[in-house]
Chains A and B, each alone.
Chain A
Amino acid sequence: MRVLLAVLVVVGVSGCVGPSRTDGDFELKAGNTAKAVASALSTARLAADAAGHGKATANYVSVILGEAEDDASAAQATFDSYQPPSAAADKLRVDVDDTLSKAIDGLTALRITARRGQIDRLPRISAQLGPVATTLEQIAEKYR
């Protein structure tokens, strides 16, 4: 019984957020967050383009865009909960957060547009998000 309890505790805490003790660790977390948000943004842009070309229904694209926005927001919230270990990490946090916020604003715009039924406008918004997507990929690559 004790062994079972110990296993359950270890499994339970294995998903918890860990603290950042060094700049290297914080950078890795920044990279992983950028990767997660880049993934959500790429999914949303593919869905938006498909819908704009008449390939997806409004209901489907509304669901996928809502989920992408939720994922990106959750990733940003988790990143913001990390304690930056130094002044250098503070600066990185601000820079990364700025890009994350731009991505999430874009995802919100896509979701609102889709739910208003303005599907034909989605590809244009998607195209405007290209530079943010590139920046996120660069952050993810730099701090992997």
Chain B
Amino acid sequence: MKKVLQVTLGILTAIGGFVDIGDLVANALVGARFGMSLAWVVIVGVIGICLYAEMSGRVAAVTGRAVFDLVRERMGPRTALLNLVASNLVNLLTLAAEVAGVALALQLATSVSYLLFVPLVAFLVWFVIWRMPFEQMERMFGLAGLALLVFAVGLWQLGPDWGSLAHQAVHPSVRSGEGHPTYWYYAIALFGAAMTPYEVFFFSSGAVEEKWTKKDLNLERANVYIGFPLGGLLSLAIAATTAVVFLPRGIAVDHLSQVALPTVMALGKVGLAFLIVGFVAATFGAALETTLSSGYAVSQYLGWQWGKLVRPRDAARFHAVVLVSLILGVMLILTTLDPIKVTEYSLVFSAVALPLTYFPILVVANDPGYMKDKVNSGLSNALATGYLIVITVVALAAIPLMIATKAGA
């Protein structure tokens, strides 16, 4: 049982990071519009995030230092500053979207406007970060997020034509009425959702918080290879439910309430209850991750004391950054900007920032000065280099495609 609970960091990172508000919406939207023909992007994304999360966790376990700390030291303050600014801007958008995601899930349960919940959710996020031990936090939200497995049960209950779903996934094509630029725009959004930068910052900083060492490398790998593929499976299940129910009816997904509808049709009120618990846990977990990631990145760049293991009085600047990030995120959502649009934009901007996050990780993971005998293997390097090329192409194509397709309209 202890071993099982030890993989909760991976599950929280994956449920909160891989199946956050961005993934919930993006996968449902893509399933309703393209069927399973973009399933390959989820698989490519899972392999990519596994590769780089394993690297960042290994770096943390071997050096006892988190990624951002080493990036500044290895790449120099200017490059690291660019990385810091880009990833924190994306992080802020994501944080705002996650807080709104929790509020939207509570709206589904109560029918009270999500805007009224936003300040309450932000306070709870701050309170959990302030008071709850790291391990307890990851177990509570990581495991509650498993309620989202109800998507897979709902899909089975809908009785889909499995052969047709598999055919769409194995023979991807652009449906009539959709343009190739739109298809690739959503492919980039899905890829950005899978490889969101905060996931590796959180995972590596979490590894330091949990005091992982070289002895924990197997545990680290178990976290990565169980957590992220689980998140990927959930993503595919979400896309499949909307592909089965919405695609034949020409329904476009614009709201979290719609993401739930196919499962509600299949499983009724029990399914809805599981979904709401899962939505709250996943988005709350992601809100914790993004808020902490902002504090981690700034503190590690500036060499401040950071983390939840340190008494707040001793890491006052870390907690100040956390609080300011949270307040900025809440202010953004309280402008009444559509949270789903914020989510969609955060995914695309996330794709733009990817090379700035992943290139330094690859450099540090290959530096024997830090990693000694635990540098990347030849296979890891070959795969990681291939992914870096893909990531760079994705980053360059994201904004032009966003303009050309009017953000996927």
Contact = CB atoms under 8 A, between A and B. Distances in A.
Contacts, number: 77
A10 interface: yes
Interface stretch (B65-73, B132-140, B245-253): B245-253
A36 B261 CA distance: 18
Contacts of A67: 254-255, 257-258
Given A39-B250, A55-B264, A56-B264, A64 B258 contact: yes
6 contacts: A11-B403, A14-B402, A46-B249, A60-B108, A60-B257, A64-B261
Interface of B: 107-111, 177, 245, 249-252, 254-255, 257-258, 260-261, 264-265, 267-269, 272, 399, 402-403, 406-407
Interface string A105-144: 0000000000000000000000000000000010010001
Nearest to A32: B409
A73 to B, nearest CB: 13
Contacts of A140: 250
Contacts of A10: 403
Contacts of A62: 111
A87 B177 CA distance: 28
B107 A63 contact: yes
A10 B261 CA distance: 36
A14 B403 contact: yes
B249 A42 contact: yes
Interface residues of A, number: 29
Given A42-B250, A63-B111, A14 B265 contact: no
A62 B264 CA distance: 14
A55 B268 contact: yes
Contact of B252 (A11, A14, A36, A58): A36
Contacts of B257: 60, 63-64, 67
A100 interface: no
A64 B406 contact: no
B261 A59 contact: no
Contacts of A39: 250-252
Given A43-B258, A60-B111, 18 more contacts: A14-B407, A15-B407, A35-B250, A39-B250, A50-B265, A50-B268, A54-B269, A55-B269, A56-B264, A56-B269, A56-B272, A57-B269, A59-B109, A60-B108, A63-B107, A63-B111, A64-B258, A67-B257
Contacts of B269: 54-57
Contacts of A144: 177
A43 B269 CA distance: 18
B404 to A, nearest CB: 9
B108 A59 contact: yes
B265 A55 contact: yes
Nearest to B275: A60
A110 to B, nearest CB: 14
Contact of B250 (A11, A14, A55, A137): A137
